[in-house]
Structure 1
Amino acid sequence: MTYVLSGLRERLHRAPQWLQWLIVAFILLTLSGILTTRYVYVHTALSPIDEYTYVDAVDKATRGVVVRYGSYVDAMAREAISCRGFGLVDTATRTMGRCGVAEPDVVYPWAGHSTGSIHSPVYYFVTAWLSKIIMAVIPGLHLITAARLTGALWLGLGALALTYLLRRAGVDLLVGLGVSVAVISMPGFRVTNSYITPDALNLLAGSVVFLAGLLYSRRKWGVLPFVIISMAVTVVKFQNCFAVVAVFLFLVWTKVRDWWTAGRGRRRKHGHESDATGAPGWLGILLPPAAAVATGVGWITIQRHMALPTEDYWTDPPGNIDVAGSLYYMDDTLNTILSGNWPVGTPLSVIPSLGLWVAIAALCGVAWFMPEMPRERRFFAQAGAVSLLGIGPAVNLSFTLVFGSEVDMQPRYGMVLVPILALCAAWTVTQRRPLRIALALFASAAYLFALAYPRAS
């Protein structure tokens, strides 16, 4: 195994850079496509994680219609929930209404209304356009199947962006490739991306945000690209802004430590404090998260003004500010960030748990127990630890403040932070050859298991 890996690394590094990335892109897009396609055709029922309303939103988008609060769900989604049913496994699939029969509105979820307006139309329209291309290439394909297959593209691009992020963060290309293959093999991603959902962009969104933040902190990018990316991922789904907040914490921590170090040196030398630092200025640090939050709140304001007259059909219970109660969600993200909502939808396996605890050990090691790690990596891991523990309470409190509803922490909200774990794991693995071999074995086993056993028994 050592000889094989060394030979691959040597051949890959001798190739021109453009060819290296072409090969990596081909590998990741192919692996993502095979995995996603397998799940699409095995799990035919709708996902209970809101796919019913997303099917309708994409169906409407193919006709240029934007979902508005108060809109009714059209025939395609109603037929899907009546004929395909919804559920994670065949033995637990349920249907609503009779297949082939036009039922009254009250038979369907939310009395026939759509909840898709909570997200901007960006994902729905992009998915609709891509689906039309897929259906043109594969005649006779159903829109639902074509829309689900777009998840393969998002998963492949997310893995490619993650690999590039790891490479720019100082990780060997083959190590980055191995980490990315391991990530897309986790149930949280391999199953999410086989359904119609804005969460299909989680890995891509998180990776590009952390890449922009990393390059901005090194002064290789200006603040404008970081701001644009922060706004773009947030307009796809509001919860993606938590990745921007994680980078914000990293930049604040770096700024504060630079200020403190510079101040101590100046005080010792001159007897007074100094605010000179090497980190980006406070305006540049505050601008990306402010722009992301403004984008998310802006869409919420727009969709409220676009709402159609209707009786309120929202099903979430009313929220209340309970900081102590929100702390209950601190560990929810880590418990499910790799397994997702699919403990009954995928075969029982130790792989997600093993990957999770290795990643957590790497995070803690980089943050506090590896003094040889560069300061940038230590600060990033420390900010990541705070983000992974804080996102649960933050989701619970922010939904109360923004939507006035109580929402528990969901795994899909935290998946945008997976690149933090991937970075720390890759930094640790790069240090020693035996760990690189272990990574290759783990990634191969995870992918082959996911491919061989897509259906829970």
Structure 2
Amino acid sequence: MTTEVAADPGERVRRAVRWVLAGIVVLAIALVATSVQRQAPFSPYDEYVYFDYLTKVSSQGFVRTGEEVGEFARAELECRGVASYGSYGDGCGIGDVEDDALFPYHGLTGADLYTPVYFAITRVLAQPLTWFGMGLLDAGRMVGGLWLAAAASMTFLALRRFRVGLVPAAGLVLLGMTTPVAQSSFAFISTDAAAITAGAALALLTARVITGASSAWWLVPVGLLGVLAKPQAIGALGAALLIVVVHALVTQGRWREASAWRGAVLPAAVAAVVALAAQLVWGRIRSATAVGPGANLGVGSEHLPPDSIIRLLDNVLLNVGAVQPVEAQASMEIAVAVATALACAGIVAGVIGLSRQPTPKGASTARSWAIGTGALAVLMIPVLMLMTWVLDGSYFEPPLRYGAALLPFLLVSAGMLLARSRAIGWAVVALSAVLIGLSWS
């Protein structure tokens, strides 16, 4: 009898966690499904070329550099247009779709940068919906609900790994759903959905590694898959690797122990090399299979502004969950402001040792997390810009959504600050519920 009574509290918590997870999954799918029913235009964030990739992935594997967008996607664009940009082509069902000059990028694809990972997964999951009469575009968008459910669930589990209370953890996940980058990524066909999901998977794995539940070697395959799905997931992988290394060598003070180097530094180095090598191999494949010059995306410049690095340092950290250039609703701007404030406060508190995270050695894990997340949030956009300039000889200012993969890490940073504060947790839940109703309606 005594054993059963003692086990009851733990079982109640596990049951509550399962119910919250089920609620997150249902809410994610419902939000995206509702959004799909309302959305007609293509998203301004390259959904048109992503849809073209989705139509081709099952027949040709991947799109080639210099390849023209297919007639199916062009016909959809003529009928739907692009949100905030208007219509293209001759008009829905009028004439043909052969005039390249009437379409974005002069008729060429701009999605050849990406491997088929995201598109293959989405196509497999979307295909059954088409058997019941749903168009492929809407079916692909519906799969965004599954991507959102996966990302939100793993973020929640990462928060719970650090014993963040159920209420604050759920509130932060809901807050993440209200951000502009969440809606633009999951309510449409977008590789950013893969980036955020990869970031959530890496956040959960990193939490397990630094709490002793998983081996750091798992960062190699998970990081590789994430970067192949979306190159910008390299930011989340970088944060994960830095957190693991800092935790083992600095905050735990094990820099003299060979076991720490073998268990943290070596797998981190291998994960970084494998991810970068995969991108180089994919670059060679793109070059070898190109059918012509790539699309001119109209975003590059040969000149690197002297102040560009300094100007871009705060792009991710001070704009958590933001997108550009399309103006967001007021409710989404509120979500960005709140998420930014909580994430920055969590990082600062973690670095200086004020985290309220209740796990054993909570201060050390919070400090490791804050250092890794804060460093990548500051450096990611400038590093991506410099890499583009060095490799291609052109300046390209990465948009805010390129930092989307770090959203789960930033939410966990906020969670370490809130920890078990039920009052603030309920306030975040209430605010997020209102913002979800406004931003997703």
Is 1:187 paired with 2:198?
A: no
Residue equivalent to 2:81: 85
Q: 1:344 to 1:323 in 2, by over 3 A?
A: closer
- List aligned pairs for 1:142-153, cutoff 5 A: 142-153=135-146
Is 1:113 paired with 2:96?
A: no
Is 1:282 paired with 2:265?
A: yes
- List aligned pairs for 1:38-437, cutoff 5 A: 38-88=34-84, 93-100=86-93, 101-103=95-97, 104-136=99-131, 139-257=132-250, 261=253, 274=256, 278=260, 280-308=263-291, 310-315=292-297, 316-319=299-302, 324-341=307-324, 344-347=327-330, 350-368=334-352, 370=354, 374-437=363-426
SS at match of 2:112: helix
Counterpart AA for 1:35: L
> Retained in 1: the 8 A contact 2:28–2:145?
yes
SS at match of 1:116: coil
SS at match of 1:72: coil
Q: 1:11 to 1:71 in 2, by over 3 A?
A: farther
Between the aligned partners of 2:128 and 2:249, the Cα distance in structure 1 is: 49
SS at match of 1:208: helix
- List aligned pairs for 1:15-34, cutoff 5 A: 15=12, 17=14, 19-20=15-16, 22-34=18-30
Residue equivalent to 1:270: none
Q: 1:343 to 1:379 in 2, by over 3 A?
A: same
Listed one character per residue, the Cα deviations across residues 45-67 of structure 1 (whole Å, up to 9, x for unaligned) are: 11121111111110112434421
Counterpart AA for 1:406: Y
Residue equivalent to 1:268: none
Residue equivalent to 1:7: none
Query: How far did residue 13 of structure 1 move?
Result: 5.4
Q: 1:21 to 1:369 in 2, by over 3 A?
A: closer
Counterpart AA for 1:102: D
Q: 1:81 to 1:33 in 2, by over 3 A?
A: same
Counterpart AA for 1:395: L
Between the aligned partners of 1:11 and 1:20, the Cα distance in structure 2 is: 12
Listed one character per residue, the Cα deviations across residues 216-271 of structure 1 (whole Å, up to 9, x for unaligned) are: 33443224321000000000011101111112222333344269x568xxxxxxxx
Between the aligned partners of 1:258 and 1:365, the Cα distance in structure 2 is: 15
Between the aligned partners of 2:73 and 2:320, the Cα distance in structure 1 is: 29
> Retained in 1: the 8 A contact 2:175–2:335?
no
Query: How far did residue 107 of structure 1 move?
Result: 2.0
Q: Taking every aligned residue pair, what percent have the same amino acid on both sides?
A: 20
Listed one character per residue, the Cα deviations across residues 151-191 of structure 1 (whole Å, up to 9, x for unaligned) are: 11100110001111111122223432222122112222023
**In terms of mean alpha carbon deviation, does 141-150 or 281-290 score higher?**
281-290
Between the aligned partners of 2:9 and 2:92, the Cα distance in structure 1 is: 54
Counterpart AA for 1:424: S
> Retained in 2: the 8 A contact 1:205–1:233?
yes
Listed one character per residue, the Cα deviations across residues 375-424 of structure 1 (whole Å, up to 9, x for unaligned) are: 11112112211111111211211222344442212122111111222112
Between the aligned partners of 1:37 and 1:383, the Cα distance in structure 2 is: 35
Listed one character per residue, the Cα deviations across residues 110-137 of structure 1 (whole Å, up to 9, x for unaligned) are: 221112211001111221111111222x
Q: 1:396 to 1:323 in 2, by over 3 A?
A: farther
Q: 1:119 to 1:224 in 2, by over 3 A?
A: same
Between the aligned partners of 1:190 and 1:346, the Cα distance in structure 2 is: 11
> Retained in 2: the 8 A contact 1:202–1:416?
yes
Name structure 1 gaps, 5 residues minimum.
Answer: 1-9, 264-273
Query: How far did residue 288 of structure 1 move?
Result: 1.3
SS at match of 1:191: helix
CA root-mean-square deviation: 2.7
Between the aligned partners of 1:287 and 1:433, the Cα distance in structure 2 is: 41
**In terms of mean alpha carbon deviation, does 139-148 or 439-448 score higher?**
439-448
Query: How far did residue 25 of structure 1 move?
Result: 3.2
Residue equivalent to 2:359: none
User: Which of structure 1's runs of 4+ aligned residues deviate more than 4 A?
Assistant: 10-13, 19-22, 274-279, 318-324
SS at match of 1:434: helix
Query: How far did residue 428 of structure 1 move?
Result: 1.8
Between the aligned partners of 2:72 and 2:216, the Cα distance in structure 1 is: 43
Between the aligned partners of 2:63 and 2:186, the Cα distance in structure 1 is: 22
How many residue pairs were aligned? 425
Counterpart AA for 1:187: P
Residue equivalent to 1:269: none
